Amino acid sequence: MMAYLIKGVSILGAEPTDLYINDGVISAPVENAEVIDAAGLVALPGLVDVHTHLREPGREDAETVETGSRAAALGGYTAVCAMANTSPVADTAGVVEQVWRLGREAGLVDVQPIGAVTVGLAGKQMAELGAMATSAANVRIFSDDGFCVADPKLMRRALEYVKAFDGVIAQHAEEPRLTEGAQMHEGEVSTRLGLTGWPAVAEEAIIARDVLLAEHVGSRLHVCHVSTAGSVEVLRQAKARGVRVTAEVTPHHLLLTDELAAGYDPVFKVNPPLRTRSDVEALRQALLDGVIDVVATDHAPHAVQDKECEWAHARPGMLGLETALPIVLSIYGPQWDLIADRMSRAPARIAGLAGHGGDLSVGSPANLTLVDPAARRVVDPSELASRSRNTPYAGMTLPGRIVATFLRGEATVLDGKAVK
Ligand SMILES: NC(=O)N[C@@H](CC(=O)O)C(=O)O
């Protein structure tokens, strides 16, 4: 294994220093290390995504574990949690072990499978959560993402069940009766465009119900892709009462608004939908306050035929892994400690991923990324490592180039390029 000397790097914005990597860990100085000139670069703990769609098994035309892992490494990630809405659904020990094994084989990031809450994501019958938890994949997060666990009795039972192994239910909060036929955020713009609306209350009502259920049974709830100002208020109150709830926001909900639907370009169709400017402002503040714990990408690759079609027929979802850090940097600037917390430490804690989200001290696992905050890059969809092209940021100039990423001391990205 190669040893590295990362020369003159700023750890989380501190004074430049030399960082050595040897034998998979941050080490004391060693001889014969490969020197990386890191003047002007910032070292962060490797990013961790609690919400990634890798599409394998089933939709390898949109993404595979390997292509998604490469996109993740290029985005500065060292671990991603793979959502269960594959085909077949990741609702058995067999499927989660398959995804976990594919992640190991790709060897670019740690791929931690998420298990489905219900069989086939159908919301009727609880999946074998225990079997997934005790499998080689060691599943701790369970989610029907793409669908809401709408049945309150089933949600309660799932919350109770995962307590036995300190698991967490990650809820896609969407009251399905309130979003039937929905195409975009319900508001002024949807009225103008004549598209069926997805009202904010459909998200807020489920979060309100679920924090009460989690409180009642004393279990852990995680809320996926929070998108409205009202949801932030529900979460703020629940946290103040001590409910064990965590929440994520996506880069696109921190940046984009429903006005973008006006061109009917399906690249802006996503679930939950892009909201209003005041929602965006509330989400930004909530991430600062810690009411929202993490930035999660909800990286949702889709094949061309599923995206480049009429708005109503297009699948919802956007790419996220390769642009997340630049988007966050463009919003918050060089607040490195905040970025490290919301994109690495907190997600590693939620997902129970020991070895990630560390402090880069000597002896700790060398999971880290080097960023050039001064570099700017125009997003070119054809240059992305993802197998899909559905980025909403095409043509935008974003700050922050990911120069290198290390997974347990092995370089996965060097000079801004994937090593394998
Ligand atoms: N977030 C999305 O817009 N899409 C997700 C699933 C979903 O939440 O609908 C996907 O898997 O494509």
Q: Given ligand 1 and candidates 51, 52, 53, which is best to mutate, with the most ligand atoms within 8 Å of its CB?
A: 53
Model pLDDT, residue 24: 98
Mean pLDDT of 56-75: 98
Ligand 1: which residues within 6 Å by Cβ? Answer: 53, 85, 145-146, 172, 270-271, 298, 300, 315-317
* Cβ count near 312 (within 10 Å): 12
Distances (CA, A) of 18 to 26, 31, 42, 292: 11, 13, 12, 34
Closest C-alpha residue for ligand 1 atom 9: 146
Q: Would you state the structure tokens that stand for residue 302, as one six-digit string?
A: 């889709």
Amino acid identity of residue 388, one-letter, is: S
pLDDT tens-digit series, residues 343-385: 999 999 999 999 999 999 999 999 999 999 999 999 999 999 9
CA distance linking residue 257 with residue 280, whole number of Å? 7
- With tokens 């984009």, the residue in question is 256
Q: Would you state the structure tokens that stand for residue 77, as one six-digit string?
A: 């990630």
pLDDT beyond 90 at 180: yes
Mean pLDDT of 128-153: 98
Nearby residues of 195 by Cβ (< 8 Å), 6 or more positions away? 183, 184, 261, 311
**Under 8 Å between Cβ of 35 and 285:** no
Q: Would you state the structure tokens that stand for residue 236, as one six-digit string?
A: 């703020």
Gap from CA of 165 to ligand 1 centroid (Å) = 27
The annotated binding site for substrate is made up of 53-55, 85, 271, 302, 316-317
**Under 8 Å between Cβ of 282 and 359:** no
Q: Which atom of ligand 1 is nearest to the CA of 53?
A: 11
Q: Would you state the structure tokens that stand for residue 380, as one six-digit string?
A: 């070119």
Catalytic residue at 298?
yes
* Burial zone of 60 (CB within 10 Å; 0-12 exposed, 13-18 middle, 19+ buried): middle
pLDDT tens-digit series, residues 79-113: 999 999 999 999 999 999 999 999 999 999 999 99
Q: Would you state the structure tokens that stand for residue 396, as one six-digit string?
A: 């935008």
Amino acid identity of residue 9, one-letter, is: V
Gap from CA of 43 to ligand 1 centroid (Å) = 31
* Cβ count near 91 (within 10 Å): 27
pLDDT tens-digit series, residues 191-219: 999 999 999 999 999 999 999 999 999 99
Q: Which of 268, 272, 304 is nearest to 392 (CA)?
A: 268
Closest C-alpha residue for ligand 1 atom 2: 317
Distances (CA, A) of 401 to 318, 366, 415: 20, 20, 10
Nearby residues of 212 by Cβ (< 8 Å), 6 or more positions away? none
Nearby residues of 352 by Cβ (< 8 Å), 6 or more positions away? 140, 166
Average pLDDT, the chain: 98
Mean pLDDT of 274-287: 99
Q: Would you state the structure tokens that stand for residue 195, as one six-digit string?
A: 């598209």
Q: Of all residues in the chain, what percent carry a pLDDT higher than 70?
A: 100
This prediction's pTM: 0.98
Closest C-alpha residue for ligand 1 atom 7: 146
Closest C-alpha residue for ligand 1 atom 4: 317
**Under 8 Å between Cβ of 315 and 309:** no
